[in-house]
Each structure stands twice: as C-alpha cells, then as structure tokens.
Structure 1
Amino acid sequence: MTIVDTPRAVYIDEPHRIRVAAAEPRPPRPGEALVRVAWSGICGSDREMLAGGRPEGFVRYPVVPGHEWSGTVESVGDPIDAALVGKAVVGEGFRSCGRCDACRRGDNNLCGAPYDETGFTRPGAWSDYLTLPARLLHVLPDGSDLRAAAALEPAACVAAACLKVAPVPGERVAVVGAGTLGMLATQLLHAGGPAELAVVVRRPDRVELAHRCGATGVLSPAEADRLAGRFDVVVEAAGTTGAARTAVRLAGRGGRVALTGIPSVDEAPPSPTDLVLNQITVHTVFGAPSRAWSHAVRAFASGALDPAALITHEIPLDDVTEAFRVLSNPAAGAVKVLLRP
C-alpha cells in the first residue's frame, strides 16, 4: 500500500471551528476497504454542519465531513476479494443494519437503527483516505472520470426521486430548482424521453446550464404559477421557501410529485385540498437507497448522466475555508465545488 507523505483530513470540531490536520489512514478491518480519495464534494448539509444547523442526532462532532466522493481502492480486509484493489469506486453513506424491516424491503436509507452516515457520524472523505464497509462500494467502469463521479451521491438522491415518480416516455415533466440536485434530476429525466422538460429557475445565470442538462424550457417562478396543472411529473429539488407548493401546483390531475428539499420548519405545506381534489401523489426522499445508487451509477456509466457539467470550482483540501467562501458568495457562480486531496 502506498501512503501519501503526510495524510490529512478536514475536521469540524464543533460549529464554526474547522481545521486541516494530519490523519493516518485506518487499515481495513474484516469486510472493509481502504480508499484513496480522488475528489470530494461539498453540499448544503456540510455547510449546515459548520454553521451548527444540523438537527440533533444527525451529526457527531468532531467530524471529518465528506459524503460525496470518488476514489480508488487501496487495500481490503478479509474476506473481501483482493481483485477490488485498484478499482475506481464511489460509495454509499448510510451505515444500515441490513436486518430491520426497512432494510429488508430495500429502504436501507430508512434503517430502523440509530442514524449513522459517512461524513456525519463517521469519518468522511474530506481526507486523503477513507475506510468503510466494502459492501457500500459501487465499482465504476475502467477509465471513469473520477472528478465527475464525485457527484454521484447527489445524483443517487435525485435518482431515488425519479424512481418514485416513474416517468413514462412522452409525459410532461418539470423540475423545480436549478442547483446541483435540480440539474442532475434534469439529466436523468431527460434520458427518459419526456415530451416536455421544464425547469423552474430563480437565477438567470442557471438558464444556459439547464438547457445543457436537457431542459426543453426554463420558467421563472412567476411563469410557473401561470402553468399550474400542466405537468404529469414534477421533481422538487430546491428546498427553498415555496418550492414544495410550486411543485404541487405544477402537477396536473393524477400527477406525481417528488420532494427532495428540506425547507425551514415554519414552511407552509402544500394545500391538502389541492392534493385530494386533484388526486396528486406526493413522494418524499431522504438520501438514497442502494437501488437508487445503482440507477445513478448505471446512468453515469452509459453516458446518460454527466455530473462534470455542474462542476464549477476545484479547490485543494488545505484551502477548505476558501471553498466555503466561494459557496457563500453568489457572485462566484458556484454550482458544485470539489475538494482535491
């Protein structure tokens, strides 16, 4: 095993306290793999951890963040097949028990055991190395772009939403939100052959990106209000105030809606009257079960999903504070920011 000269990791010791320090990789125990991290992403929940806004029980300080990542297997513990060494991989975050009712029906993201996830309660991939159960790994095709693959975790989350609403070719589809999740959802939904694929965009600088990801039309929130009831399928991927209500209003009678964002606790819910009278089915998504990961990885391997289109900034691991400054500056135009060990 080749170890970098001075392995490091980013630590959030407590809210508002972040540092980079030496971190020796932990050798894999039985059933585990040691991965050399190639790229790792930053998402809203990471910013939430630094700000201290993560709900109680969903973070364990001090923590090495990093649940979005790609890398190469460096070594494995018995009885994992040594052929895994050298493979390009991404990995699921939820450390599910595999025994409860939720796990047995395939909803391992809803495991009945206490919440446990890489980058939140376990050391994550804002580091040179990551040790995790080998069962969580998804092997990528040889020659895969590991830079792009680092965004497969959010892709898996919106893949879960797409699987729930199950769009049929020729249906009218809308996406609310033009951030990372919204653009990944747009790519996945575009691959399904919709008759129309509209994206609700608040920021004019995202219009071109939405079209590049497969949108046939781009709507402002005001325009979305005028198209109430037009769409068969709607995926909400914004989490901003009013996004869930917009998604439900866009759905026509008998429509299917998936909500992926987590709005503020005082957010007014969609009207139950609208839901019942129009017989709208609303699905919600928290993370991604294994089947959604498989869906995202297959779409990536086939070329139907290209997360590279969303990557706007690459920042060395040692400059992690600069990454947070970029994300907090609207003028920077950040979509997906990656850390490079």
Structure 2
Amino acid sequence: MAIWLVGPKTLQIQPYKLPPLGPQDARIRIKAVGICGTDVHFFKELKVGDYIVKKPIIPGHECAGIVEEVGADVKHLSPGDRVAIEPSIACWQCHSCRQGRYNMCPDLKIFSLPPVNGVLANHIVHPAKNCFKLPDTLTFEEGAMCEPLSCAIHACRRANVGVETNVLVVGAGPIGLLTMLAAQAFGSPRIVVLGIKDSQLEVAKTLGADGVVKVSRNIDDVEKEVEEVKNVMGARIDVSFDCVGNSKTMSTSLKATSSGGRVCLIGIRNVNLTAPLTDNIAIREVDLVGIFAYTNTWPLAIELLRSGKIDVKALITHRFGFSQKEAQEAFETSADDGNAIQVMFNL
C-alpha cells in the first residue's frame, strides 16, 4: 500500500505494485519518511520548476527502513539491517557519473520527482548500493534526515566552507537550519541566519546561530536588511547560502556577501530570478554556485549524526502515522504557514 498524490492537495491510500527484486537490489520495509519542501510544492501545485505531476504519484524521498530481502549479488546487506536510503538512481556510465558527479547524470531518477514514485509506502525496492547501514544509536527518523542533511553537506562542500568561513544562511526552514548545522560541523566560526518567522529564528538561536535577523518578504527592504545583517555579523561574510530561491533572497545574498566571497543557491522557489548580477558577480567578483541534490554524502551524514557533531532531533516538530487521514493532515501541516519545521511519518 502507498499514499498517492492524485490531485492538488488530494491524497489517497491505494495499492502499489512493487518492481521485481533484481540481483543488486534490496526490498526495504519503510519505517520513517520526512516531508520535503518539494513534496509540499507538488502537493499544493503539482509542479516544482520543470517537474510536473501529470499522473498520480507517490510522494516522499527522505526515508529509512529495514532490509527484508536482498538480491543474489548483494553482499554488504542482510535481512534485518537498518538502513538510511539515498533516493537517487544514476546510470553510472555517463561522463558525469564517471567523474563522481552522478547528480548531473542525464538519466538520473530521484524518488518522488515526476514521473518516479516516492517512498511513502509499506515497502520499496531500491539499488542496494544506495542503502547505508545505520548505527544502533541512530533512530529511523535520524536516518530519514540524512537526505536533507546531505543537501546541506553538498552545499558546504560546493561553497568551500571551513574554519575561516563566516556564513550567512538566508532562510530558516528545515534546509536553512540544516545548512547552519552543517556549516558548524565544517568549522565555520560565525554564522548568522535570516528568516521571516520568529519561531524558526528561535530554533536557530537554540541550535547555536551566532546571530539572527528577522526579514520581510518585501524586496524593497533588501538594502536596509543587508545593512542590519552586516552589523549583526560584525565581520566579513565569506559565504551566503540562499535556502529559499526567489528574487529577494538572491538579491540579499549577493549584496550581503563580501567582495571575493561566494553565494550558493540551494532553494528553488522560483525558476526565473531577477538579481543584481553585474554589480556583484562582475565588479565585486562574488562567485555564484548552485547545488542539485548531492553526491557521496551519506557516509558523512551518518557519521556526523553518530558522533553527535550534528543533532537533528530538535528539528522534528510533528509526527504522523500511515493512513490516508494522517497523510492529509501531515501535508497540510507542512504546507501551513505555521510553526512546523520537519514533519515526519512513522510507519
């Protein structure tokens, strides 16, 4: 059985025919699934950027579970193993895959990105190489959080965050808060977080942000807010992470970043952005990079959680079970402009 998105804000629990178990696959009983921002956009609008839901689809890609069966060629997993699951499948043959950047694979398939079904189901079949054993000390929920944490780890790698890198995080939702935690783990000495909700900024302070700034959605406020951000940072802003992805947040990120610094675009709220590129990228040599998903991050994500260098438990604010009623409530809670940060299913 699975939860299917069958229309705008409409979910139904229906049968799900699993693909056959291949020799290099594992069949996994799903135990925890988190709701991602992209899942919410699909739930509300049936599209994110160029990805459009054209037929019923199973949402969800942040997940962990228990191995129930493995294919004949699988040696590193056994039935009963607890695993965190990387939800992407690459071809492993193209130039990008051979260079280690399999997130750029032209044939990449990711759970819940149309037309690929997601993981909000009793069971899934997935390549065993993308299933990573969880230490006994970590919960299934923490295993599911490896997926959004991997986005943050990949962003910190792309932005070269280190012990001399002061960081601005624009956006205090789940990805923004995880990016802050990842930047801390990468050694950033000072981190300031921007957000529009007092509740999220309070969480950022609790998790160790060195400063927070409440901002508006009004693009006319950018100049004033940038000055406040610089005052709160009290030092160079070497890297800014735009964890929202609209014209205002990109403008803020570019203008706040010190000359010679770097902006990393993580969020994809809007496909087309208007931002002051010439003054910042050309004249001030601010580098602009982006990320799509992640590459080779699960072992590090699991180790950061196991070692206690990152603790994600405080981000999980709401929990739901596996039923049509609770699925509807879970997605509406995540889509609501309230105090939810990470909404989690326990199956």
Instruction: Tell me the TM-score normalised to structure 2 length.
Output: 0.88
Instruction: Point out where structure 2 has 5 or more consecutive residues left out of the alignment.
Output: 216-223
Matched, 1:168 2:168: no
**Given the alignment, which residue of 4, 9, 17 partners 2:2?**
9
Match of 1:46 in 2: 39
**Relative to 1, partners in 2 of residues 1:17 and 1:168: Cα closer, same or farther, differing over 3 Å?**
closer
The Cα of 1:192 is off from its aligned counterpart by 2.8
Task: Look up the SS of the partner of 1:254 in the other structure.
Answer: coil
Q: Which amino acid aligns with 2:95?
A: D
Matched, 1:243 2:249: yes
Answer with 58-67 or 212-221: which moved more. Answer: 58-67
Task: Look up the SS of the partner of 1:112 in the other structure.
Answer: coil
For 1:60 and 1:197, how far apart are their aligned partners in 2? 41
Answer with 20-29 or 272-281: which moved more. Answer: 20-29
For 1:82 and 1:88, how far apart are their aligned partners in 2? 12
The Cα of 1:49 is off from its aligned counterpart by 2.0
5 Å matches for 1:1-341? 8-23=1-16, 28-50=21-43, 51-56=45-50, 59=53, 61-81=55-75, 83-113=77-107, 115-120=108-113, 121-221=115-215, 222-228=224-230, 230-289=236-295, 291-318=296-323, 319-331=326-338, 333-341=339-347
Q: Which amino acid aligns with 2:259?
A: R
The Cα of 1:9 is off from its aligned counterpart by 0.8
Q: Deviation per CA, 1:189-216: give whole Å up to 9, x if none.
A: 1123323111112111112210222211
**Relative to 1, partners in 2 of residues 1:162 and 1:58: Cα closer, same or farther, differing over 3 Å?**
farther
Instruction: Point out where structure 1 has 5 or more consecutive residues left out of the alignment.
Output: 1-7
For 2:308 and 2:196, how far apart are their aligned partners in 1? 28
Task: Look up the SS of the partner of 1:35 in the other structure.
Answer: strand
The Cα of 1:64 is off from its aligned counterpart by 1.4
The Cα of 1:58 is off from its aligned counterpart by 5.8
Asked whether the equivalents of residues 161 and 186 of structure 2 are also in contact (C-alpha less than 8 Å), the reply is yes
Task: Look up the SS of the partner of 1:156 in the other structure.
Answer: helix
**Relative to 1, partners in 2 of residues 1:84 and 1:270: Cα closer, same or farther, differing over 3 Å?**
farther
The Cα of 1:271 is off from its aligned counterpart by 2.1
Match of 1:5 in 2: none
**Relative to 1, partners in 2 of residues 1:82 and 1:267: Cα closer, same or farther, differing over 3 Å?**
closer
Task: Look up the SS of the partner of 2:261 in the other structure.
Answer: strand
Task: Look up the SS of the partner of 1:19 in the other structure.
Answer: strand
Q: Which amino acid aligns with 1:22?
A: P
The Cα of 1:18 is off from its aligned counterpart by 1.9
The Cα of 1:82 is off from its aligned counterpart by 6.8
Task: Look up the SS of the partner of 2:191 in the other structure.
Answer: strand
Asked whether the equivalents of residues 245 and 269 of structure 1 are also in contact (C-alpha less than 8 Å), the reply is yes
Q: Deviation per CA, 1:167-187: give whole Å up to 9, x if none.
A: 221332111111000111111
Answer with 213-222 or 94-103: which moved more. Answer: 213-222
Q: Which amino acid aligns with 1:152?
A: C
Q: Which amino acid aligns with 1:10?
A: I
**Relative to 1, partners in 2 of residues 1:74 and 1:205: Cα closer, same or farther, differing over 3 Å?**
same
Q: Deviation per CA, 1:35-82: give whole Å up to 9, x if none.
A: 111110111211222322234556563221111111111110111127
For 1:264 and 1:129, how far apart are their aligned partners in 2? 33
Q: Which amino acid aligns with 1:202?
A: I
For 2:185 and 2:206, how far apart are their aligned partners in 1? 13
Answer with 149-158 or 78-87: which moved more. Answer: 78-87
For 2:67 and 2:8, how far apart are their aligned partners in 1? 32
**Greater than 6 Å deviation, 4+ residue runs:** none
Answer with 137-146 or 12-21: which moved more. Answer: 12-21
The Cα of 1:27 is off from its aligned counterpart by 5.4
**Relative to 1, partners in 2 of residues 1:215 and 1:66: Cα closer, same or farther, differing over 3 Å?**
same
Asked whether the equivalents of residues 64 and 124 of structure 1 are also in contact (C-alpha less than 8 Å), the reply is yes
Task: Look up the SS of the partner of 1:330 in the other structure.
Answer: coil
Answer with 31-40 or 137-146: which moved more. Answer: 137-146
